[in-house]
Amino acid sequence: MFSIKSKIILAYTLVFGLMLTVFAFIIYHSTKEAAFLKLNTNLKAYSISLRAEIEDELDDSASLNLKRLSSIKSKGLIGERFQLFNIQGNIIIYDSVLSKASMPNMDKILNESYEIDRQKIGHRRYHILWSKFETENDSVYILETAASVKDVFDELDRLFYLFIIIIPAGLILTGFAAYFISKAAFKPVNQMAETAKNISGVNLEQRLELPRAKDEVRALGETLNEMIERIDNAFRSQKRFVANASHEIRTPLTVIQTELEILEKRLNDNESKESIKNALSEIEDLTKLTNSLLTITKLDSSETKLNISRVRIDELLADCVQAMNQSAIKKNTQLNLSIEDAIEINADKEKLKSVFLNLIDNAIKYSPECSSVSIILEKLNDNKIKVSVENTGTGISPSDIPYIFNRFYRSNEIRSEVSGSGLGLAIAKEVVELHRGEIKAESKVGEKTIFSVILPEINA
């Protein structure tokens, strides 16, 4: 469902996203721990200096100077405040905020000299530290100091928002990077696929362009090229065989034909004459087939170039009609040639003639007895000429139309009834396209069929 490219992009982005999130989580928590540790250390320092001052004052005068005590500050703390209790738990110095804090078990405070607790008082969070100390006259006091953790949370919030921006931005960047990396990585693969798509039986000499880097893609390309080479060789030897076989068959066929024709003239009994006629007709079909095969192998080998000369297309059509007259008469078919003007074009006379001979031959073959075939030559507006060959008859079904120009394709209905090889239209199409023209078939089933050839009227 997904292309490899999108899978790579997805995997890269997911892995990187996961790494970033884990990384952010670790940083967030270690920063938080470090900040709390620092806060607690500062709180302890504050408590120690405050305690020292209280001890001093109690030792000196047994009374406390609240103003002086309040002026004691600690670096790195905000909102620091304190309360003082005696051992009975009675408040000696009162703080309006800390009075709302809950006090831990007194035994705990008395056993450990520093006890730190986190509490929310109002809408602020505080770290509160209780420390027990004794004065010189053996009175025990409990000092409660506290600092707001707002600073720490502000810092953590900033970090959190930073991550909220960095993680999606990182993901987008990774997505883009993964896209460009995989695009670059797959470029040679796509190029090879594009070339491979265009390689067919006609251009098997083509090879895939290999990437310069000696990587897996290049190895795959080399393997494919070797495979194309093998197919090319197999095709070549097959074509060579067809060409040689057709060539070799032609001579004996001509000999047999001549011998049979002589024999036919010598024989008197009608039955034998009929048999020989049938044999001659089969030989004619066989000769046509071998000729078609030879033509097609020549068209396949790139040696076929057009033998271009100035050709009077009107005269060429008249010649074709003349040549096909005999077959037409056999089927009581009338050939009507309609020519607008004398038109001269640049073309390969022999090859073009074979195209029209085949179209007229088809028109006669595939129309019923006693019908008529029209051959029309006309000039088109855009410096082109059009030759249409029209016949009545069963026509070609729409499902056959896309295939009739394929080699060896014959429609099922006529396959067994009319002899032929299915090569005529394939040859016609190749020849017309070599002339940079086009050939089309239109058919109304049960009514008529029109084949039209459009050719550029070069220098006319």
Binding residues vs ligand ADP (CB under 6 A): 358, 362-363, 366, 391, 393, 395-396, 404, 409-411, 414, 420-426, 449
For ligand ADP, which is the closer residue by CB, 146 or 428?
A: 428
> Residue 325 and residue 337: Cα distance in Å, rounded?
12
Least CB distance to ligand ADP at residue 403 (A): 8
Asked if 411 interacts with Mg ion (CB under 5 A), we say no
Q: Which does 17 bind (CB under 5 to 8 A by kind): Mg ion, ligand ADP, none?
A: none
Q: Which of 41, 76, 74, 72 is nearest to 55 (CA)?
A: 72
For the chain, the distance separating the N- and C-terminal CA atoms, rounded to the nearest angstrom, is 56
Asked if 354 interacts with Mg ion (CB under 5 A), we say no
**Residues with Cβ within 8 Å of residue 214, at least 6 apart in sequence:** none
Asked if 362 interacts with Mg ion (CB under 5 A), we say yes
**Residues with Cβ within 8 Å of residue 46, at least 6 apart in sequence:** 72, 73, 74, 77, 80, 145, 147
Q: Which position's Cβ is nearest ligand ADP?
A: 420
- Burial of residue 134 (CB within 10 Å: 0-12, 13-18, 19+) is exposed
> Residue 358 and residue 439: Cα distance in Å, rounded?
13
For ligand ADP, which is the closer residue by CB, 320 or 345?
A: 320
Of residues 132, 424, 435, 453, which one binds Mg ion by CB under 5 A?
Answer: 424
Site size for Mg ion (CB under 5 A): 3
Asked if 393 interacts with Mg ion (CB under 5 A), we say no
Q: If phi over 0 gives left and psi between -120 and 50 gives alpha, with beta otherwise, what is residue 408?
A: left
Asked if 295 interacts with Mg ion (CB under 5 A), we say no
The stretch near Mg ion (CB under 5 A) out of 126-134, 179-187, 360-368, 385-393 is 360-368
Q: Tell me the one-letter amino acid at 432.
A: V
Q: Which does 221 bind (CB under 5 to 8 A by kind): ligand ADP, Mg ion, none?
A: none
For Mg ion, which is the closer residue by CB, 39 or 389?
A: 389
Collapsing DSSP to helix, strand or coil, 209 comes out as: coil
Q: Which does 449 bind (CB under 5 to 8 A by kind): Mg ion, ligand ADP, none?
A: ligand ADP
Asked if 131 interacts with Mg ion (CB under 5 A), we say no
Residues lying near Mg ion in the complex (CB under 5 A) = 358, 362, 424
